[in-house]
Structures are given as C-alpha cells and as structure tokens.
Amino acid sequence: MLLIQTILVFEASENLPSGLKALLVMSGVLGVSALIFAVRGPRETEDQPWWRTRHER
C-alpha cells in the first residue's frame, strides 16, 4: 500500500518540492524493503531469533 501511494503521488504532481521528493523516495525504499521481507520471510535456519538469544556473561 505504501508503494502504491508513493507511485500515485509521484504521477499526480509534476512540480514537487525537493523535501517532499526526498520523503517519497525514502518511503518508496521502505515499501520495497517491506515487500521483499514479506515475500522472503524470516530466516528459518536459526534456532532462535536474534532478539531471543541470551547474553553471555
């Protein structure tokens, strides 16, 4: 949904301020990375996720 919204805003306006263009590029990168993670999924090779591993003392 974030990707579609970003593409629609880029196509709808011709003269966007550079700050808004930068924000749209960042949201597009975030949307692409979220799409890649959703398609690929988390790694299943690890026994536990990185946030569940205990700290060694």
List pLDDT tens digits, range 4-57. Answer: 888 888 888 888 888 988 898 899 899 999 998 888 877 676 666 667 777 766
Per-residue 3-state assignment (H helix, E strand, C coil) for the chain = CHHHHHHHHHHHCCCCCHHHHHHHHHHHHHHHHHHHHHHHCCCCCCCCCCCCCCCCC
Q: Taking the complete model, does pTM exceed 0.85, yes or no?
A: no
The confidence score (pLDDT) of residue 30 equals 92
The whole-number pLDDT of residue 40 equals: 84
Structure tokens at 26: 């960042």
User: Position of tokens 């890649």?
Assistant: 36
**pLDDT at position 16, please?**
84
